[in-house]
Amino acid sequence: MLNETQRGAGVLFGINLVCISLAGAVVFWLMRIHPYSEDSVEVKRRALSQIILSAVLLCLITVPVVLSFRKGFELEKAQREARLFVAERLPGSAVLSEEPRTDSSGNILSLTVATSSEVSQDELAAIVRQIAADSPVLSRAEITCLGAVNASAP
């Protein structure tokens, strides 16, 4: 079974192969480089068919690549928005680490936040709920707060 890195390397190889072939065909066609023994109409037809075939292959490869990377882009967006939300709700805090992971329930984002002021457990719970609610790709968020944390509810 291929892992994610191996699949990505294979897709990258395929894209590079098709793009290099397409670039070569276009350059040779534009510069009118072809065998002298060939009929010019036949050369033009063959060059255009190779360019069209390469473009179609490139499109066929691009669609699954975009679909597979979409999840990563959305997860990165969720991380960025979570950082901004924590900074907005907890002024003077700093997000020390972010750890996205996946389990049977979906994507989970774990944040480690350093604060200089006291933060109630209720406020942390509200932040966690809002982060998970704002992101369609996150099933849950977790915050570990380093610094002054007030465990009692006000």
pLDDT, tens digit, for every residue of 1-37? Answer: 677 788 778 888 888 888 888 888 888 878 877 767 6
**Tally of domains in the chain:** 2
Domain boundary among 15, 38, 71: 71
Looking at the structure, do residues 127 and 141 belong to the same domain, yes or no?
yes
Of the candidates 71, 92, 110, which is a domain's last residue? Answer: 71
Shared domain for 55 and 119, answered yes or no, is no
Residue 67 shares a structural domain with residue 78: no
Please report, for the domain that includes residue 94, its CATH number: 3.30.70.1350
Residues 46 and 93 in one domain: no
pLDDT score recorded for residue 85: 92
Q: Would you state the pLDDT for residue 153?
A: 40
**pLDDT at residue number 152:** 42
- For the full predicted model, state whether its pTM sits above 0.85: no
Q: Are residues 82 and 100 in the same domain?
A: yes
Q: Are residues 133 and 117 in the same domain?
A: yes
Angle separating helix axes 4-30 and 40-89, nearest 10 degrees: 140
**E strands along 35-105, which residues?**
94-103
Structure token digits, residue 38:
């060939």
pLDDT along the chain (154 residues), means of 10: 77 86 83 71 79 85 81 88 91 89 88 87 91 90 76 42
Residue pair 1/41 in contact (Cβ under 8 Å)? The answer is no
Torsions phi, psi for 139 (to 5 deg)? -90, -25
Q: Which of 71, 101, 127 is the last residue of a domain?
A: 71
- Residue ranges making up the domain that contains 79: 74-150
